[in-house]
Amino acid sequence: MDDLIADFVAECREMLEALGGEIVAWEAQPDDRARLDSIFRFVHTVKGNCGFFDFPRLEALSHAAEDALADVRAGRRHADGTLVSAVLAIIDRISEMVAAIEAGEDMSAGDDSALIASLEPGAEGPVAPLVTTTTDVATKASAAPRTIRLSVELLDRVMSTVSDMVLARNELARRLRESTTDVPVDGAFERLSSIIAEMRDAITRTRMQRIENLFVGLPRMVRDLSAELSKQVLVDVDGGDVELDREMIEMIRDPLTHIIRNAVDHGIEKPAERLKAGKREIGVLSVSARQSGNQILIDIQDDGRGIDGKKLVEKAIANGDIAKEDAAQLSHRDQLALIFEAGLSTAKQVTAISGRGVGMDVVRSNIERIGGIVEVDSRLGEGTRMTLRVPLTLTIIPALTVSIAGQHFAIPRSAIEEIVRSNGESVTLEHLGGAGVATIRGRRVPEVSLATILGLKSEVDENDRTLVVLRPAGGDVYALSVDRIHDHEELVVKPAAPAVMATSLYAGTTLADDGSPILLMDPAGIAEVGGVKLETLERAARIAEVPAAAVSRATAVLLFRGLDGGRRALRLAVVDRIEEVAAANIKQAAGQLRVQVGDAILPLAGASAAEVGEGKIRLFRLNDGAHEIGYAFAEVVDFATIEHDVIHAERPGEISGVSLINGEPAELVDAHWLFAHHVGTAARASGQLVCRMPRDDPWMQNMLRPIVEAAGYRVIGEDAEGDADLVIASQGEKVDAANAIYLRNEPEPKGKKDDSIYRYDRAGLLMALKSAGGGRRK
């Protein structure tokens, strides 16, 4: 019996949720038969079930509603505002009762006769329909997709089994790598791998829910609110079929509700006011959701009075949140962003609905907690648009693994801006009163040592660490120094125990490929614990660099055409310079295309051997501070900035995503991936020791050169420009150099004065190479 009741409750809930929107739509178009039918079906089902379960109050209510609706269906009665309100009230009561049944409360007492009486025709005299002109709320009754009901526990179990499977696969992959296997085995494993990946995708999808679940309640809420405030609001809901993680939907429910309440309360004016302002008396509130890459964008837009940035600033000054002189420097965007500060509200009077000055800061922190961002845009008198950007799912997060003192941690990739070496060329690290400040290409960012924050002892010298430049969601940039960077991984993140979360350093736990637990760091938490003063700092930094600030916040890119004609963009910061080389200088060597530029051989990206052709090839020299690679292209189109949303690529690769640049789509080249992919041991590291040796001596080039290079030298030809730390020549030649090694062909020296080295005396050679290198380092 209990099971049956539970089923009944679940069924009622589902229908109630779906019904919220239907009723308001029905009110707008009382002659809409489809809507009427679905409401009728609901009360009918409830009535039927009640008889079976013995819930007399429910039965009486649903019976009365059914009768009234049956009259409407039969055309004996017109569905007017009174009737709609009465039916709404009854449905509300039913949903209260369903909740009571679920909670196991007693609900036999109570009187519903007033509600039932209000259903009678002419109960409260003739009332005109409440809203007459709202039309296309959602023109079609949403056809419910075919579904079955599953318990969440079962889903979670399946999910965790799949995670186990992924781990087992990873383990197997490692074993396979270690041992030599047959091609068929590898092939079979590859297939298994891709099937598992597909399965994981599918399982992840089962956790997804249509955002409709969140949206169905909105029309009803807005209807009640606007009635209370005697405003007229038309809700336009779009994108209900966008899917979002089940947990995520719950997390954005409150922020979304809050924003909508704000919009109706403060945004949309009263009808008279609207007419005076030359607008239609009915305000329009549109709520839409769409997917953009691995983010979901939810727009809430109203055509109300907009936000007065100046008023916000005045209030912020009055509250002492910002200094007067700073306030003058704020851009329109910054002014608007002040609504997220705690305690600010421009509402003239506090209403029961909103305007207590608590809210928008809570909205922002709630959205940020799930890795999202809230943006606001508003024009005074024209309206306001709030945009929530939230990640698609909470559970699978692309992350970078780093280590401190041998322990691994994960950092969500979404927060990472760039990764630099603290001893790289364009990076300097300074300490001011114990606080670290990193200067990265002229930009000062606070530096925080993860080792210090975690209280771990790092074995890596401060200057050899790697800086991960982080931008926490909505926050500001800081650099986190870690011992070592390891890998990009897609991690299945689970919430950590409260005792672990209490540190506010971690966002969750996850399992690495080898099955050991890893803590996922919370970039905002680290900043807080590390004492990085984000808000104030960013504002101060921005003021310091007016007025270029607005420009520099957009990412500058170089727009070009690739050899294959593709329209691409590269971040300007990674492009060192542009070179032109002969196609003959491009060779397939050591596993990849390489290009000779001057005396350097760089890995070449952006071209396949077939595309190189003949003649001249132009290429970008990209520099990450330590290595260089070449990137071939056909022509530079323009300098531009990325202003539109970037649609991220499905999987990491040469192209990280696409975006509209100057009105046309362009592929964004992922410089990080290029370096990760192309920089092998052969990449030219700057600041290396240089060794000069004859280019035309095949023995030297073929036999000696690898040894010299293995010893850390960059080898150049005898005619190349620049200083060499060491010169190698055959015996009998004379070279002008401080450090020179002469090689002879005979094992025995010619005389006592002969300081040459036998060409196969490996130990002697290495010694000489080492001492020549040591000479320079002194």
Partner 1 sequence: MSELLLVVTIAGERVALPAAAVESVVELDTLIPVPRAAPHIAGLAALRSRVLTVIDCMRSLELGDTDCSDGIREAAVVELDGHHYALIVDLVEDVVESLSEPAAVRAAMEPGWDRVSQGMVETEQGPLLLVDVAALIAGVEAKAAA
Interacting residue ranges for partner 1, rule: CB under 8 A:
160-161, 163-164, 167, 407, 453-456, 494-500, 502-503, 505-506, 509-511, 515-519, 529
* 3 state DSSP class of 385: strand
Alpha carbons 387 and 372: distance in angstroms, whole number: 10
119/492 with CB nearer partner 1: 492
Tokens of 570: 């590269």
Q: Work out the end-to-end distance of the chain between its first and last CA atoms, rounded to an integer number of angstroms.
A: 88
- C-alpha separations of 742 from 684, 711, 719, 731, 763 in Å: 26, 17, 18, 5, 15
232/481 with CB nearer partner 1: 481
Query: 286 burial class (0-12, 13-18, 19+ CB within 10 angstroms)?
Result: middle
Q: What type of residue is 622?
A: L
Residues 6+ positions from 253 with CB-CB distance below 8 Å: 214
Smallest distance, partner 1 to C-beta of residue 571, A: 34
* 3 state DSSP class of 609: helix
Tokens of 579: 């070179």
Alpha carbons 246 and 214: distance in angstroms, whole number: 10
498/615 with CB nearer partner 1: 498
Helix (H) or strand (E) holding 174: helix 152-178
Smallest distance, partner 1 to C-beta of residue 167, A: 6
Alpha carbons 465 and 233: distance in angstroms, whole number: 57
Smallest distance, partner 1 to C-beta of residue 457, A: 11
Smallest distance, partner 1 to C-beta of residue 505, A: 6
- Token pair 């060779």 is found at 587
Smallest distance, partner 1 to C-beta of residue 161, A: 8
Smallest distance, partner 1 to C-beta of residue 497, A: 4
- Token pair 């990873």 is found at 170
Backbone angles phi, psi at 72, to 5 degrees: -65, -45
Helix (H) or strand (E) holding 188: helix 183-206
Q: How many CB atoms lie within 10 A of CB 407?
A: 12
Q: For the sheet containing 416-421, what is the strand order?
A: 416-421, 466-470, 478-482, 443-449, 435-440, 427-432
Smallest distance, partner 1 to C-beta of residue 519, A: 6
Smallest distance, partner 1 to C-beta of residue 506, A: 8
Pairing of strands 664-669, 567-571: parallel
19/251 with CB nearer partner 1: 251
Q: What type of residue is 291?
A: Q
407/686 with CB nearer partner 1: 407
Smallest distance, partner 1 to C-beta of residue 496, A: 7
Tokens of 301: 């837009």
Alpha carbons 572 and 574: distance in angstroms, whole number: 6
494/567 with CB nearer partner 1: 494
Alpha carbons 102 and 270: distance in angstroms, whole number: 40
243/513 with CB nearer partner 1: 513
248/264 with CB nearer partner 1: 248
Smallest distance, partner 1 to C-beta of residue 521, A: 11
* 3 state DSSP class of 524: helix
183/497 with CB nearer partner 1: 497
- Token pair 């597909």 is found at 198
Smallest distance, partner 1 to C-beta of residue 488, A: 20
Smallest distance, partner 1 to C-beta of residue 513, A: 12
Pairing of strands 740-744, 713-716: unpaired
Backbone angles phi, psi at 516, to 5 degrees: -90, 150
395/623 with CB nearer partner 1: 395
Write down how long the chain is.
Answer: 778
Report yes or no: 556 and 605 within 8 Å, Cβ to Cβ.
no
Q: For the sheet containing 726-730, what is the strand order?
A: 713-716, 689-692, 726-730, 740-744, 757-758
Smallest distance, partner 1 to C-beta of residue 554, A: 37
Nearest to 373 by CA among 360, 388, 362, 386: 388
Smallest distance, partner 1 to C-beta of residue 500, A: 5
Alpha carbons 226 and 224: distance in angstroms, whole number: 6
426/452 with CB nearer partner 1: 452
12/505 with CB nearer partner 1: 505
Residues 6+ positions from 98 with CB-CB distance below 8 Å: 9, 12, 13, 16
| Sequence-separated contacts (24+) of 431-438 with Cβ below 8 Å | 435/531, 436/479, 436/481, 438/467, 438/479
Nearest to 665 by CA among 635, 645, 680: 645
63/484 with CB nearer partner 1: 484
Smallest distance, partner 1 to C-beta of residue 411, A: 15
Alpha carbons 606 and 620: distance in angstroms, whole number: 10
- Token pair 């590291």 is found at 685
334/483 with CB nearer partner 1: 483
Smallest distance, partner 1 to C-beta of residue 499, A: 5
81/495 with CB nearer partner 1: 495
525/764 with CB nearer partner 1: 525
509/739 with CB nearer partner 1: 509
Smallest distance, partner 1 to C-beta of residue 503, A: 5
